[in-house]
Amino acid sequence: MDCLFCKIMAGEIPCTKVYEDEWVFAFRDINPQAPVHVLVMPKAHMSDIMACDGETMAHLLDAIQTIAKQEGVDKDGFRIVSNCGKNGAQSVGHLHIHLLGGRQLADSMA
Ligand code: AMP
């Protein structure tokens, strides 16, 4: 499948991995928008949040909590965002959740 994030997971394209388990893979964003900017994605290819099921989302949530502690942003807080589709400005068609933290983030969401 011609999917950038599947290729990253397969090791065909380098990344800085921060977390992996049976269901989830997470790595640093190549163009970080905050001191901590991690992309958390399901190993199974699915296009976006509309294609996601509850079990997969539960695994993503567990991983996000673990990564937040690992990255040291659990105490001061962080933001998660998942862009979906054209109006959501999604640029890579494999579901991923941005985890942003390490500084005071802007109030604005859009
Ligand atoms: P989105 O626009 O929500 O689909 O987010 C895609 C994210 O993937 C962007 O924040 C990009 O900076 C990031 N990205 C694109 N290519 C790579 C890559 N090779 N390694 C790490 N992050 C990437």
How would DSSP label each residue in 43-97?
A: SS---SGGG--HHHHHHHHHHHHHHHHHTT-TTT-EEEE---TTTTT--SSS--E
Q: Cα–Cα distance between 94 and 71 in angstroms, integer? A: 23
Rounded-to-integer distance, Cα 19 and Cα 63, Å: 8
Task: Assess whether the C-beta atom of 92 lies below 6 angstroms from ligand 1.
Answer: yes
Write the pLDDT tens digit of every residue in 15-33: 999 999 999 999 999 999 9
Percentage of the chain lying above the pLDDT 90 cut: 97
At 1 the pLDDT is 76
CA nearest ligand 1 atom 18, residue: 30
Would the pTM of this model clear 0.95, i.e. be above it? yes
The stretch 55-72 carries a mean pLDDT of 98
59 tagged catalytic: no
Contact 29 CB / ligand 1 (< 6 Å): yes
Whether 1 and 45 have beta carbons less than 8 Å apart is answered as: yes
User: Can you give the pLDDT at residue 21?
Assistant: 98
C-alpha atoms less than 13 angstroms from C-alpha of 59 in its C-beta half-sphere = 18
Q: What is residue 63's predicted lDDT score, i.e. its pLDDT?
A: 98
Asked whether residue 44 carries a pLDDT value surpassing 80, the answer given is: yes
Question: Which residues, 6 or more positions from 93, have their beta carbon under 8 angstroms from its beta carbon?
Answer: 3, 47, 48
Give residue 5's pLDDT band: very low, low, confident or very high (50, 70, 90): very high
What would the pLDDT profile of 76-101 be if each residue is shown by its tens digit? 999 999 999 999 999 999 999 999 99
